[in-house]
Amino acid sequence: TCLCSDILSFYKEEMKGDVDNYVHARARITGKAVVETLHDIVDETAAAATRVRNTLGEGREREAWNSFEQGFIRFHMRDPRYRLGDVLGTPGEYLVLGL
């Protein structure tokens, strides 16, 4: 969830010129471009989520995880503070995708 927060907060932080965050710090340390670093973090987060799903298997625990995961992302997408509507369009457009 920490890396997911960093990903979902990235756009609003970039728009504010905030470079005091994990993505920028990691880019500085690794010597990579900020966008490349963001892509790496997205890939790592997706892989971690897949590992969690595989570990949980099927059943109530997996259903609970799926519900948490979807709610966590939905919260960020709907909260105007994160400005994700700037990137993704109106909530109706991307929530149709099942998020």
pLDDT per residue over 85-97, tens digit each?
777 776 545 554 4
Q: Give the mean pLDDT of 46-61.
A: 94
CA–CA distance, 42 with 58 (Å, rounded to integer): 25
Q: What is the pLDDT of residue 93?
A: 54
CB of 38 closer than 8 Å to CB of 54 = no
Tokens of 89: 């369009």
> What 8-state DSSP symbol labels residue 59?
S
User: What pLDDT digit, counting tens, does each position of 38-52 carry?
Assistant: 999 999 999 999 999
Of the pLDDT bands very low, low, confident and very high (cuts 50, 70, 90), residue 84 is confident
**Verdict on whether the full-model pTM lies above 0.85:** no
